[in-house]
């Protein structure tokens, strides 16, 4: 019992040591157990096996084939014509769909043409059709004795068609049309 009274305070003091003193305690335990001069119990040179054989030779990669470059995925083929979902008659307001002289906001989309009140745009090149409800293309326009080029983006959502373009002299265009009945 007397020995227990002497050991108990020693154990309490050991358990209350700060963390940075525990490494020294581990070394003392390892050395006391005859496991070497380090806390791990290992002895000898800590250098990796084979590390003392000299420098790495310059031609270490000789004879090793390089990995082939990744092959990029082929882009999806773009349509040659304006997709069906964009075709038809589109009006900015209800009067446009009725036709006649009041139909100044009517847009008719055919397989390769955009037909406006006073101009026509012929499809030259489709630049993008992704996602499927968006079409970006270039058109050659003519109307009122003039010719010009224009890149137009069409975006269809339900019965609505949004037309955006960076415009020429008139500035940017951002119009929303509604599908004409029939």
Residues of the chain with CATH 2.40.128: 84-179
142: enclosing H helix or E strand: strand 134-143
Q: Is the pTM of this model over 0.75?
A: no
Tens-digit pLDDT string for the chain (182 aa):
455 444 444 444 455 555 454 444 444 444 454 544 445 555 555 555 555 667 777 777 777 777 788 887 766 677 789 999 999 999 999 899 988 878 899 999 999 999 999 999 999 999 998 899 999 999 999 999 999 999 999 999 999 999 999 867 777 899 999 999 97
The CA-atom distances, in angstroms, between 77 and each of 36, 74, 85, 112 are: 71, 9, 17, 17
Q: What is the CATH number of domain 84-179?
A: 2.40.128
The reported pLDDT for the residue numbered 136 is: 95
């Amino acid at each position: 019992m007397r020995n227990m009274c002497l050991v108990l305070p020693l154990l309490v003091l050991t358990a209350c040591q700060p963390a940075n003193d525990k490494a020294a305690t581990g070394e003392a335990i390892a050395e006391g157990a005859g496991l070497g001069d380090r806390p791990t119990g290992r002895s000898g040179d800590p250098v990796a096996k084979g590390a003392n054989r000299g420098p790495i030779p310059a031609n270490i990669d000789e004879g090793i084939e390089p990995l082939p470059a990744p092959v990029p995925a082929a882009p999806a083929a773009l349509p040659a014509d304006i997709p069906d979902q964009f075709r038809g008659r589109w009006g900015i307001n209800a009067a446009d769909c009725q036709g006649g002289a009041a139909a100044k906001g009517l847009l008719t989309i055919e397989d390769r043409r955009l037909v406006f009140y006073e101009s026509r745009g012929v499809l030259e090149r489709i630049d993008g059709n992704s996602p499927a409800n968006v079409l970006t293309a270039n058109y050659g326009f003519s109307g009122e004795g003039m010719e010009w080029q224009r890149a137009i983006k069409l975006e269809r959502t339900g019965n609505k068609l949004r037309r955006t373009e960076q415009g020429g002299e008139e500035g940017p265009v951002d119009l929303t049309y509604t599908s004409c009945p029939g």
